[in-house]
Copies of this chain bind each other. A is one copy, B any other.
Amino acid sequence: MTTVSIKDVAALAGVSPGTVSNVLNRPEKVAGSTRDRVETAIRQLGFVRHGSASTLRAGHSRTVGLSVIDIGNPFFTDVAAGVEDLASERGYAVILGNSSGSPAKEERNLLVFAEQRVRGVLITPSGADPRRLAMLRERGIAVVLVDHPAERPDQCAVAVNDVAGGSLAVTHLLAGGADRIAYVSGPASIRQCQDRLRGAGRALAAAGRDPAELRELAMPAMTAAAGQQAALTLLAEDALPDALFCANDLLALGVLRGLLQAGVRVPADVSLIGYDDIDFASASAVSLSSIRQPTYQLGRAATELLLDECDNPATHAHQQVMFQPDLVVRESTR
């Protein structure tokens, strides 16, 4: 009800408001004895700093905006966890925006971020809006792209090397004696699917095989249902591939289910590997080999770059960080 301000604290501690502000922001500037007096006054009154007043006067806030494409996707959830953890450690609050794949919603989120005068924005852009982001930067809001290549050199970005991941997966399949390999993919518009495909091709080439041998089966969605559909398609053909690389784990789980129901043995008849290493990959009937991405680290690293750009604008060097994925071998591959 009655909001207690810095003045009340000052009055109780027998000191000026400016001094209270100093113990809050630059404690080393104030003598030990008065600092103690002020701090007990703060505790006694239950004072908590008015963030908006602080932001207004100081010209910058202690919040960052996080805009993700789908908060329901474990990938983004893990990223968000990394962002939230580091931001919280550094005393920043995180404003969450979920674009749900809608450019309009994304734009609305960016507007909210601008109104809140966030210090910086972490975003996995979906709508094509390089202008929007430039606008934020003109307003002094730092921007870091997450799981998306930088659009200009003076910009930070973090991503995971999907080409390397595709290569890891197919190299592993080949090492297990795979001969005829198929790639079960998602929509062609998704960059990650394309990159993983290129990586798969490179692995074949490195083994002295023709990348064109790789059978590609592109599904309209990257869900378990789509994966099961893919399995049916493959089963209807003359000969089954002896190894399958799926563009994500949901597809792989669907494929797995479809194959097992048809009596195909995994991995005896068909080797199967997914991508993302979601929690449920290890919980399926035949635990799933997969490619793990350092998702949580991705979020942390992006936040680290963002806060560095905010707090040390003079020395900050823009970087494009590329993480490397890992192979996780479980039961589904030979």
A residues adjacent to B (C-beta < 8 A): 1, 3, 46, 48-53, 55-56, 61, 63, 66, 71-72, 74, 77-78, 80-81, 84-85, 88, 93-98, 100, 105, 108-109, 111-112, 114-117, 135, 138-140, 224, 227, 250, 253-254, 256-257, 260, 279-280, 282-287
Contact = CB atoms under 8 A, between A and B. Distances in A.
Contacts of A140: 1, 3
Contact of A48 (B46, B111, B224): B111
Given A46-B135, A96-B94, A115-B49, A282 B61 contact: no
Given A88-B109, A284-B284, A285-B284, A50 B1 contact: no
B63 A85 contact: no
Contacts of A95: 63, 93-96
Q: Can you tell how many copies of this chain the complex includes? A: 2
A61 B227 CA distance: 45
Contact of A256 (B1, B51, B257, B285): B285
Nearest to A283: B224
A138 to B, nearest CB: 7
Nearest to A227: B283
Given A50-B115, A56-B53, A140-B1, A96 B80 contact: yes
A117 B135 CA distance: 27
Contacts of A74: 72, 74
A96 B96 contact: yes
Nearest to A115: B51
Contact of A282 (B94, B224, B279, B286): B224
Contacts of A284: 253, 257, 283-285
Contact of A283 (B52, B55, B257, B282): B257
B63 A71 contact: no
A58 B95 CA distance: 21
A85 to B, nearest CB: 7
Contacts of A224: 279-280, 282-283
B112 A93 contact: yes
B93 A52 contact: no
Contacts of A55: 52
A71 B61 contact: no
A296 to B, nearest CB: 9
A53 B53 CA distance: 7
A80 B94 CA distance: 14
A324 to B, nearest CB: 23
A138 B48 CA distance: 13
A77 B88 contact: no
Contact of A1 (B94, B96, B105, B139): B139
Contacts of A49: 115
Contact of A117 (B52, B61, B81, B94): B52
A13 to B, nearest CB: 20
12 contacts: A48-B115, A72-B77, A77-B77, A80-B96, A85-B100, A95-B95, A224-B282, A253-B283, A254-B283, A257-B283, A257-B284, A283-B284
